[in-house]
Structure 1
Amino acid sequence: MIGKRLDRLFVLYRYWLTRRRMSGWTDRASLERWQEKRVTAHLARVRRESPYFRELWANRDLSQWREFPIIDKTAMMNHFDRLNTAGIRKEEAFALALRAERTRDFTPMIGGVTIGLSSGTSGNRGLFVVSKEERLAWAGTMLAKVLPGSVRDEHRIAFFLRADSNLYGTVKGGRLQFAFYDLLDPLSSHLARLGEQKPTLLVAPPSMLRLLADKRRDGALSIRPARIVSIAEALDPLDRIRIEESFGQTVHQVYQCTEGCLGSTCAYGTVHIHEDLVVIQKEYVDRKLRKFVPIVTDFSRRTQPIVRYRLNDLLTGREEPCPCGSPFLAIESIEGRCDDLFYFPASDGTGWVRVFPDFIARAVLSASERIEAYRVVLHAPDRMTVQLGVDPAYRAETRGLVAQSFAALCARLGCRMPAIEFDDYDFVPGSVKLRRVERRFEHVPEPDLVR
């Protein structure tokens, strides 16, 4: 009992500390000076405790950390045993995590350390390991950033995800009622549970939020949460509009992945990077369009250090400062994975044209207001499938309009349009993440051949 009380006090302390930090910086310069001190102190501990990083960095001056070697998921998994600081072996961790997914019992740990698996959208599943202290700190931090109102209020949290974790259950206790909803369970059971729980905070992937929004519009669901938070998948503009119309409120976002919780929305709905926890370096894909890949250094995690870690995500920075006044980095959109960049042959036959996911999304959405859902899959540079959710009475007309929209896009970009095969939209939320725009061929042209 005393242990649980102390745990709860620590969560509340981190909640208070995060709230204070969120409003404590008024300018970028003071934030960066604070970050620099935190990062260098953190890296000194990591070098002592992680054999992998100690060898990787050798005797380099820690003040030069921004030039340290970059790692990625492949490197992290290849060197997992020597990278983590808890002495956990990858083979044992994978066995525990896979057993948890099979039995749907996510409580077992290794030496008090929580083990989890990423969804493996790219086919390369990643492990994450979190100590008890990090788990409690995460709970307090996320409550401060996401919870509506005050932690002293009563909150009923409905959390939809493919797999549960001790990490998420940490927020239980006191006035916080937390319920995990397994995405693999049937929708009918979700609707019944939601009707009984009446959540004040609804957290789910946008594909599930969209499904719940449709049920609410049809009268099959009557909940009125104080806040709705989108997680795990890129929030498409079409889904955002439908969810907000149905529930009558702004949809907030949490930008979280295996590598940590990287950002969340402010009161204005702008995603801000959690720069009280991480530093983001930008590897630009297109500087003019403000599109970049984030290189993450997390100075809050020691069990599985994340230092100069290149994500596979594609972000677009916000051009204008956010009205909220926060100096934290503001993001205009989280477009998804770099693996879903499209490449079309140039019209003149020399080289390739890179087509960003938001270009594809806009081409579909601007074609017709009758489109209720869509997916675009590029199977090869000259062949793609477009699934459309549209009233059958307008199916042929809408498909024609989408084809015209893609032709106009390709003419504007100077590339050849692939052959389009149309189909009806058939995605059902569950074990697989929704990717509105997806590339399924692996060949990526050499950079000097891409326009």
Structure 2
Amino acid sequence: MNNFSRIKEPLTLLGNYMSTKYGRSWGSRRELLLWQEWQVRRHLRYVLARSPYYREAAGGLPLEQWREFPVIDKREMMAHFDRLNTEGIGLEEALEAAWEAEKCRDFSPTVRGITVGLSSGTSGHRGVFLVSRQEQMAWAGTIMAKVLPGGLLQKHRVAFFLRANSNLYASVRKGRIEFQYFDLLEPIEKHVSQLNTYRPTLLVAPASVLRLLAEAVKTGALHIRPDKIVSVAEVLDPLDERYIGECFGRQVHQIYQCTEGFLGFTCSHGTLHLNEDLLVVEKEYLEGAERKFVPILTDFRRRTQPIIRYRLNDILTERKEPCPCGSKLLALEQIEGRSDDLFYLHSVANGRRKPVFPDFIRRAVLSASPEIEEYLIIQHSERLVECSLKVRPELEAVCREQVTRALTELCSRLHCHAPNIRYSEYVQGPRERKLRRVERRFAL
């Protein structure tokens, strides 16, 4: 690294921290949208000059018509990876580096100075992401401004639980910020011991891991008191949120982040806001579902691997009322989960398949009994649903009856035929796999 880079990197981090925390404010939603438009057009001038794929996809359209560019998804991005990224890095080269890092658990090597990582692949298709050193610093400054409790002058000890570490996450370790990576493949008992020694002020982990740590707090094995707890990588189920919050005595915050970028965070009121100061979110509303949409993202800060009109398979629900925090950034009521996990049941009226949102299933189960500690609901076909409940043994039969009744009543309200419900023993899945409490396992 040359002297100029040594000077530029901390300036990039600090500049993004200051502008995110103190410098960006809009008097109205309209002001924000106009600012976004200017950011996107400036970004596209850079991308179209360096990405053959996007230059061809634009088809000569003027920049002000960028919303007419084709919508892509992960399959399309991986199919055109070599020509889509602006550094000319081939997919095979990137995959080789990423798999080697996964195998040896050393995530520091780069490809020509570019960090390479793999997505978790919960959608069935693993993705590869590329991030430059400059983008790492910008990300670090932004996430510190949005997530850290207190300011940069305060000393922070961050405990970050991940399936795989990355130079991206290590870039947060600056100045008075200590950062310790906890590998999800290690035993939870080892993590508890290390956490008791480390005493983090900020605890960041998937909801399923936070749940295990909360249980360790409840039994007295873990005795840490972080200033802030943040759930990442998985949908935070209301049941888990309540349990984790009660055990730690803290509000549970969320970061909405995936391979495609840092998409959202919770404000001081606990409302999840999309990071519209980093990206534009177009909404593909779902038919017959109030305020529910699939997001189409255009990130106007990622240059190495551009994200332009990229369709996620997540389902988001807009908040009905404005957030009391006053932010002009779009507020969400919740992240429903992946569109792949929509249940499908047969309509009573015409026998056709009818979608049932994961949140409907969650609410039915949670309303059935306060004795349910954890659950998994898996749809194997339109006529078979498997249900696993974690409850005290003496309450299992009663809770199963209550859940069956609640799900049957839900089907009646939705005018669908109720599926057969098969109960099985509750077993916690491997930690390296994202927890999905509501999951569909058959293809349409």
| TM norm structure 1 | 0.96
Letter of the aligned partner of 2:51 in structure 1? Answer: S
Q: Secondary structure at the match of 1:102?
A: helix
Query: Which residue of 1 is the match for residue 260 of structure 2?
Result: 259
Any gaps of 5 or more consecutive residues in structure 2? none
**Residues of 2 paired with 1:230 and 1:352: CA distance?**
34
Which whole-Å CA distance do the structure 2 matches of 1:269 and 1:245 have between them? 15
Please say if 1:177 is aligned against 2:210.
Answer: no
Deviations 1:117-164 (A, max 9, x none): 000002100010000100110000000010000011100000001000
How much has 1:21 moved relative to structure 2? Answer: 3.7
Matched, 1:441 2:434: no
Opposite residue 168 of structure 2, the aligned amino acid is L
Residue ranges of structure 1 left out of the alignment (5+ in a row) = 444-451
- Partner residue in 1 for 2:131: 130
Amino acid at match of 2:256: Y
Task: Give the superposition deviation at 1:5.
Answer: 5.6
Is the aligned partner of 1:17 residue 2:11?
A: no
Q: In 2, Cα distance between the equivalents of 1:349 and 1:116?
A: 47
- On the 8 A contact 1:208/1:429 being kept in 2, the answer is no
Residues 287 and 295 (structure 1), Cα distance of their counterparts in 2 relative to 1, 3 Å cut: farther
Shift of 1:4: 4.5
Check the 8 A contact 1:374/1:389 in 2, yes or no: yes
Structure 1 pair 287/112, CA: closer, same or farther in 2 (3 Å)? farther
Aligned residue number for residue 101 of structure 1: 102
Matches within 5 A, 1:415-426: 415-426=416-427
Contact 2:208 2:431 in 1 (8 A): no
Q: Separation in 2 of the partners of 1:288 and 1:312?
A: 16
Q: Quick one: percent identity of the two aligned structures?
A: 54
User: 1:401 matched to which residue of 2?
Assistant: 402
Please give the alpha-carbon distance, in whole angstroms, between the structure 1 residues aligned to 2:137 and 2:443: 40
1:146 and 2:147 correspond: yes
Listed one character per residue, the Cα deviations across residues 69-91 of structure 1 (whole Å, up to 9, x for unaligned) are 10110100000000000110000
TM-score by length of 2: 0.98
Inter-partner Cα distance in structure 2 for 1:221 and 1:12:
34
CA contact (8 A) 1:312 1:338 kept: yes
Q: Check if 1:71 corresponds to 2:96.
A: no
Name the CA shift for 1:220/1:429 in 2 (closer, same or farther; >3 Å). farther
Distance 1:9 1:98 in 2: 32
Further displaced range: 219-228 or 425-434: 425-434
CA–CA separation in structure 2 for the residues paired with 1:320 and 1:209: 29
Q: Which residue of 2 aligns with 1:38?
A: 39
- Structure 2 distance, partners of 1:33, 1:178, is 37
Secondary structure, aligned partner of 2:97: helix
Quick one: which amino acid aligns to residue 198 of structure 2? Q
Partner of residue 60, structure 1: 61
Give 2:17's aligned amino acid: Y
Per the alignment, in what secondary structure is the counterpart of residue 309 of structure 2? strand
The one-letter amino acid of 2:48's match is: R
Distance 2:396 2:82 in 1: 53
Q: Which whole-Å deviations, capped at 9, do the CAs of 1:291-321 have from their partners, x for residues lacking one?
A: 0000000000110000000001000000000
Q: Verify the 8 A CA contact 1:213 1:246 in the aligned structure 2.
A: yes
SS in 2 for 1:366: helix
- Alpha-carbon distance in 1 for matches of 2:308, 2:27: 26
Code of the residue aligned with 1:35 in structure 2: it is Q
Tell me how many residue pairs correspond in the alignment.
Answer: 442
Q: State the match for 2:190 in structure 1.
A: 189
Distance 1:218 1:347 in 2: 48
Matches within 5 A, 1:277-316: 277-286=278-287, 288-316=289-317
Q: Is the 8 A contact 1:353 1:414 kept in 2?
A: no
Deviation at 1:395, TM superposition (A): 0.4
Deviations 1:248-291 (A, max 9, x none): 11111000011000110110011111111100000001465210
Asked if structure 1 preserves the Cα contact closer than 8 Å seen for 2:375 and 2:388, the reply is yes
For residues 305 and 338 of structure 2, the distance between their equivalents in structure 1, rounded to whole angstroms, comes to: 23
Deviations 1:341-378 (A, max 9, x none): 00001123431221000000011111000000001000
For the residues of structure 1 that align with 2:122 and 2:439, how far apart are their CA atoms?
A: 11
SS at match of 2:378: strand
Q: 1:4 to 1:192 in 2, by over 3 A?
A: farther
Q: What residue is the counterpart of 1:348 in the other structure?
A: 349
Amino acid at match of 2:332: I
Give the letter aligned to residue 174 of structure 1. G
C-alpha distance in 2 between matches for 1:409 and 1:97? 44
CA distance in 1, matches of 2:421, 2:432: 27
Supply the distance in 1 between the matched residues of 2:44 and 2:12 (Cα, whole angstroms). 24
For 1:54 and 1:9, the matched residues in 2 are separated by 31
Query: Which whole-Å CA distance do the structure 2 matches of 1:105 and 1:4 have between them?
Result: 23
* Matches of 1:386 and 1:30, distance apart in 2: 48
Q: Which residue of 2 is the match for residue 446 of structure 1?
A: none
Identify the residue that residue 358 of structure 1 maps to in structure 2: 359
Counterpart contact for 1:96–1:115, Cα < 8 Å: yes
Give 1:12 deviation, angstroms. Answer: 1.6
Quote the Cα distance in structure 2 between the aligned partners of 1:151 and 1:174.
Answer: 8
Question: What's the Cα RMSD here?
Answer: 1.2
2:262 and 2:166 map into 1 onto residues whose CA distance is 15
Give the AA of the match of 1:39: V
Residue 447 of structure 1 corresponds to which residue in structure 2? none
1:11 maps to a residue whose letter is: L
Partner of 1:449: none
Worse overlay, 4-13 or 163-172: 4-13
Say whether residues 1:234 and 2:223 are aligned partners: no
Helix, strand or coil at the partner of 1:292: strand
Deviation, structure 1 residue 424: 2.0
Show the counterpart of 1:7.
9
Superposed counterparts of 1:151-162, under 5 Å: 151-162=152-163
Letter in 1 for 2:223: S
Q: Deviations over 1:180-219 (max 9, x none)?
A: 0000100111001100110000000000001111110111
Q: Secondary structure at the match of 2:217?
A: helix
